[in-house]
Structures are given as C-alpha cells and as structure tokens.
Structure 1
C-alpha cells in the first residue's frame, strides 16, 4: 500500500502505526545503535570508571586517554563528513573494531607494563570513537520524530549506559576476593573484549537514513548522497556558525570532569572491588537521569522552547547542588593527604557520603549530555546536518577531555580540578539558554517546516509522492 498518493488517510496512518517495531522504524534503529554503544563505549566507560584503566598507577591510562582524545578531537569534527560519505555500516564497523584493540592493549599492559601499545591503541580508538559518535549523533537526533527527540535520546542513553552497569559488574565479580589487589585480572579485560566484538558485529544491522521510515510515513532525510568537497565546505563553516560557537563551553565541559571523577573520586577513595560496584550505580544513575530529563524535554510544557529552557534550568540547579557537595567532599583529602580506601562492606557509614556523591555525578552527567543532545537535535532535522553538528560537539568535547587527562597526569591540585569543572558547566547554561531562545523553533513552526520537507512512504519504504531526489 502506497502512502501519500491518495486514499483514506486514517487507514494509512493505521498501517504505519501498527508497524512501530518493524526493522526500518526509528524505534528499532535507535535501540540497535543503543546496543552497539552498550557493547563498545559502554564497556569502555566501565573500564575507564575503574580509575587508571583498572591499574594501580593511572599514568598509562592517562597517557592513553590523552592520545585518544587528541585524535578524537580531530575525527570527531571530521566524523560527520565521513559518516555522510560511507554510511552507517562501514563507519560503525571500523569504529567498533578500535574498542576491541584498546581493551586488548591493557591486557598486554597487565603482563609487560609497557605503555607504548596502550598509547597507540588509544590514538586509534580516538579515530574510531570520532566516527562512532558522529554516526550515533546523526542517528539519535535525526531518526526520531521531531517532537519526540528527548524520549528517543533517553531511550538510547538508558540502553547505552546499561553497558556501563554490566561493565561495572564484570570487574566487581571477577575481583570480588581481590579487594587489596593492585590491578584487575586478565579475565576482566577479556570480558570487555568479548562485548566489544559483539558490538562491532551488531553495527552491521544499522540502516542508512534513506531506508528508515517514521510512523507518519516520512523518511528521516531527503538528501540522497554527499561528496568530499561538500563535506569539507560544510564542516569548515561550522567554526563560523554562531550556533556551534554557543555550544563550545558545554561541549568542552561535558567530558572534562571524567578524569577527576574516575581517578580522583572513585580511584582514590575506594578499593578495587568497590570501584567496580560504584560504577554499576554510576552508570545506573545515568539511566535514571536520562529518562527524567528526556520526559521533561518532551512532555512538560506545550511550547518546545519553554521545555528547553526549563530543562536547562533544572540541570543548572541540580548541577550546582551536586558540585557543591563535591566541593565539601574534596576538602577532606588531597594528593598530599590521601584518604583511606573505602570498602562497601567494611567501611560502614564512612562509605555512604562518597558513594552518594559518585552516584550523583553519574546522574548529572546523563542529564547534562542528554540536554545538550536535545538542543542539537532541535537545531535541524536532517541526518546530514545533524551528523556534522554532533561531530563538532564530540570534537570539542574530546579536545577538552584530552586536556583534562593531562591535567590529572601533572597532579594539579584536586580542589582546583573540581573548581574548574564546576565553573565550566556553570558558564555553559546561559549560553545554552541564548541558543534555545534564538534558534529553537516552537512546535507550530516546526510542523510547518517538516510538513514541507516530509516525503511520505509506506511502512516497507516505498515512496508515494515521488523519488528522494537531490538536495535543494
């Protein structure tokens, strides 16, 4: 049955809506990219969250992460263009393979204590991560219906961060009776590699945007192809785009705090097995945070712009409270006055406060990043544009992370690290408010734009009102 070529509109809508769980629906595709990220960056997050990559000395992990985020900064920006040229399958398969190599480099380091392999693997992972997150950003922000992007972002974030939850259980279970051990065992790294390999294979199930059909019968994009010259030109324009410039502080801040939280909160305050347990709750908190902010950004108010402003205000208030709690906690220890390692079974009430703080950091991370992704998704609706926007976001984010890991390597005072993290996130809120006020269309205006651009198709992907055509 063709959609858009006449006939009973009500029966047409019924045909499409009854097929929500079809393979080429946005829901299924967002779930699939969530599972890919569950297996690859989700497991990487669990490994990083151990503090020092699961090693007693974080130097190798810090240097590997510096190499990682340096190349990530470049390929994050280029990733959107590469995705538009290669499509999702080739982009994601090559990207996911680098995660397996990275986990393997720490298995090697466990035996030989040579940083070279880990640093080289980190640099390659930066290339892969840039490609993966540009592809993920394009899929997550362009495939869903415009008025449900917050819901789909929270769905993706929940599936993705379940990887961190499961990944946290791996070192917790395998190192449960090794609470005083210096580093995690080989089985921990092998477990991560198995999940990452599964993610690489699963990436082959992702469809290109031209084959994904929304429930109303429209495709996700009307642009059929791209070229190298087009991508070079469009990516270059991003550095002069006022929308992207307003995003820079939020982008820089959004991964800058990881080195502080993983190495200097979880890594310094807790013993090995407790760090694994903490990560289960850290990434679990991300699931709760993403669902909460996603609901607020899609359903709280009728006006889309109002929802964005309220979402930013909620994250700003909650973030200020959490960082204030972190400030109070940080006054208790420093590099020169290291704390006694806490254990979830043996430390009693002393464990509760730092544990709740680390949980809250995970909650804030998901809410902050989901909010930024929602704003990016509200700036456009086609996958080509959003892949470039997402790539720019990840590129700037990774540049900040590269600096942050070296800041920690150089033993910058912990209180100074916390204050810088708190300041960076605080600066980003008013700029995001300006961006929402000036660039985010309300639902009425958005419907007028999307109704002009929509290309109705049937649930099986057959167009009813003409071909896809060239970009106009």
Structure 2
C-alpha cells in the first residue's frame, strides 16, 4: 500500500516539496537504522520484528490523510522518520525469510512470489485509487476515501505478521531445518556486523544497493508533473503490473532455470537486467528531452490524461520501468542469497542492502526537492544503474554451485535419531516429522548436477 501511495506521485499529496522532504527524512532514517536492523531482527525474531515494522506504514499513510484534511505538514515529516526506522526492521526480517527459508534451487522463485505479492498490493491499491478518483479528471491530490481504503488493507497486513514462523520451526522440503536457534545473541550480532563490513563482496555490491531505489524520486516527480490525478493512478497500476510480470519472468525463467549451473544463471540474469536497463532508460530519455521542469512550472507542458492520443507510449514506459526494476531487485537479492544460506547472515545482508538503498533514495528525494532538472535526475539514475553491473559481475564470479558443502546443515531425521538416543523429544516442532519424510530433493540436485532432478 505504501508503494501504491508513492506511485500516485508525491505520495498522493498536492504539495510535492513536502512529499520530497518527508521521503528524504524517511529514507535517511531508513539508511541509518538499516545498518543495525539485521541484528535487531536476529535478536527479536522475525514475527515481532515484522509486527513492529508494519506499524510504521499505517502511521505514515494516516499522516498523509491527516495532512489532506488538517494541513499538518509536520506530522507527515515525523511519520516519515518513524517509518524509516520501522521499515528497516521489516525489510531485514523479510529479506532473511525470503533468502534463507527456500532451497537453493528455489531462491529466484521465492523472490518472484514475494515481489509479485508485494506489488499486487500496490496494483490493487492503485486500482482502488483509480476507481475512486476517475470521475475527477482535474484532481491534484488523492481523496480521503483512498487513504481509508489503504489503511484498512495495511492493518490486515499488520495482523498477518503473527502468522510467520521462526527459522527453528521451518523445515525445508529436503528435511533440513533453516536454523536450530530461534534468535541470536547480542555479542554474536556485534561480531557479525563487524565481519559484514570486511566482506569485499558486499562492498563490491554497494553501488548496486545504492542505485536500486535511486530512480523512484525521479519517476514519481515526472508522474506528478506530467499526468493528471486519474492517470497517475493508472500509471501506478501499470507499474504494479510491470513489477509483477518482471519478477515472475526473471525468477522462474532466468534465475532458477534447472538446465544451467548456478553461476551461469547469475550471468544470464545480469545480462537480461543490463539489456533491459539500457533499452528502457534510453526510451525514457527520448521522452525526457522533450520537456523540462521549467516547462512544467511555467505551464508550457500540459498534463496528460489517459484519453489523450499521446498517452499510450507513456503508460507502456511506466510498465517497463517497473518491469526492469523488478528484475534488478531480483538479481540483487539472488546474488546475496547465493553467498550463504544462514538466515542470521542474510538478515544482516538485507539490512545493509536496505541501508545503502535508502541512502540512495534519500539523496534522490533531496535532489528532487531542490528542483534539480529532470534530465539531470534521469541521467544520474541511469548511470548509477549501469555502473553497478561490472562489480556485480565480479561478485557473481565467486558464486559456488552450492553452499551446502561449506555450511553445516541439520536434518530432522538426524535430530530425531539423536533425541531418541538421549531419551527426550527433539527440538524442532512436531510438524518436522511430516517434512522429514519427504525426499532430499535439493541434495540430489547438487549431487547429480543441473537438469538431472525432476522438480
């Protein structure tokens, strides 16, 4: 729902400067908290971390609604700061779950499913906004009923966080437990964070992390400047649809192709993302050079309505902007998840990823807040994306076919046997017994090589 509001342009507000300031504060707090959010998630466990993390989104959307009715700009900025803190917690826990719970052969698909569900919320929210606002073609800000609809859906998400199981109660289909411990210890997190900043692979991925959300401010600003209210909502729906399709395509059809070795799949994913980035942003540039921010301010660039003849190409552009974005995000997560299977390490990776990503977002919203020319914002975003690819290629070269041989894996059968010998019940949940009966699919895939195991 936060994505849906953001994709409406200026967070659904008529005051673009306030939206940029709030987003700058939000992502600044997000960046700082992200440096430690992985450790906090490991200490609290995923369930409590997700619950705390989701509350900030409800407060932020509520602040937008309050501003719309009461004009309380300070509350929007304050809520943005709190959301930055809570969102860092949510995304660290989410990243650890998505990257560590699946089998190695399914990590691309895991991202695809998550991103599709995540963007489906944005898509539905945008459809709601479009349905509510479509009769008011001159609308400059989102209506109150739109915010109410968003809040209802967000609170459903808050409640659903209690359905998440901790890693010590999750059994993969090959009978392995994600992690024996439900949570880590403070001193372990201090050591883990210190090691994080010594890992050259993560430092090499830093430009990719930083660039991964940098372009959102630019795309949102152009959406606000060049389209009327209903068309902004339609663009947001197209963005959500593009993100869903992009995630499913790269997750299922590229990153998890069973006919190729893991490193080859990574190379293929990088090639796909590189080509998409070049083509889509080149098309965007061809449109961007036809107008400037000054043209919009002076009224020389009329706002486009979806009924206009020149809209079709613009709608397709926003679809493919987010199609390419989903592929880029998928590749970043897939590379991180290929470095380890440990959920505690991956929580720290996710925290660092979101910290650098949010630092980039804070900078981009700050750039937009001071009325930087649209062309400069476009080129900065595009060049950052392109600059990240060579370093990602270097990291991909270190990806192993599997991490199972280097990291200790705990099988439910082994734990049950040890528990029986000691004369007490095993540690994992009783549900482990059923999971343990399933065949070791992942182990067979590693032993036999790609393409030799039936899914």
Considering only aligned residues, what root-mean-square deviation do their CA atoms show, in Å?
A: 1.6
Per-residue CA deviations over 1:279-314 (Å, capped at 9, x if unaligned) read: 111111111111111120111642100110111011
Q: Sort the Cα spacing of 1:425 and 1:284 in 2 relative to 1 into closer, same or farther, 3 A.
A: same
Output the CA distance in 2 between the equivalents of 1:272 and 1:462: 59
Cα drift, residue 146 of structure 1: 1.0
With normalisation by structure 1, the TM-score equals: 0.86
Is this contact kept in 1: 2:20–2:366, CA < 8 A? Answer: yes
Cα drift, residue 92 of structure 1: 0.8
Per-residue CA deviations over 1:435-454 (Å, capped at 9, x if unaligned) read: 0102x1014xx45346xx22
Cα drift, residue 462 of structure 1: 7.2
Cα drift, residue 248 of structure 1: 0.6
Alignment of 1:94-243 (within 5 A): 94-243=52-201
Alignment of 1:294-309 (within 5 A): 294-295=251-252, 296-299=254-257, 301-309=259-267
Output the CA distance in 2 between the equivalents of 1:269 and 1:464: 66
Alignment of 1:302-317 (within 5 A): 302-317=260-275
Per-residue CA deviations over 1:386-438 (Å, capped at 9, x if unaligned) read: 00011100010001101110100001111111111110000111111100102
Is this contact kept in 1: 2:167–2:182, CA < 8 A? Answer: no
The equivalent residue for 2:248 is 291
The equivalent residue for 1:417 is 377
Output the CA distance in 1 between the equivalents of 2:322 and 2:167: 31
Aligned positions, number: 417
Output the CA distance in 2 between the equivalents of 1:294 and 1:375: 12
Q: Does 1:455 align with 2:410?
A: yes
Is this contact kept in 1: 2:140–2:228, CA < 8 A? Answer: no
Q: Give unmatched runs, 5+ long, in structure 1.
A: 1-42
Q: Sort the Cα spacing of 1:224 and 1:49 in 2 relative to 1 into closer, same or farther, 3 A.
A: closer
Output the CA distance in 2 between the equivalents of 1:236 and 1:44: 32
Q: Does 1:357 align with 2:317?
A: yes
What secondary structure sits across from 1:80 in the alignment? helix
Q: Does 1:391 align with 2:368?
A: no
Q: Give unmatched runs, 5+ long, in structure 2.
A: 420-425, 429-455
Is this contact kept in 2: 1:95–1:129, CA < 8 A? Answer: yes
Q: Does 1:52 align with 2:13?
A: no
With normalisation by structure 2, the TM-score equals: 0.89
What secondary structure sits across from 1:256 in the alignment? coil
Output the CA distance in 1 between the equivalents of 2:11 and 2:183: 40
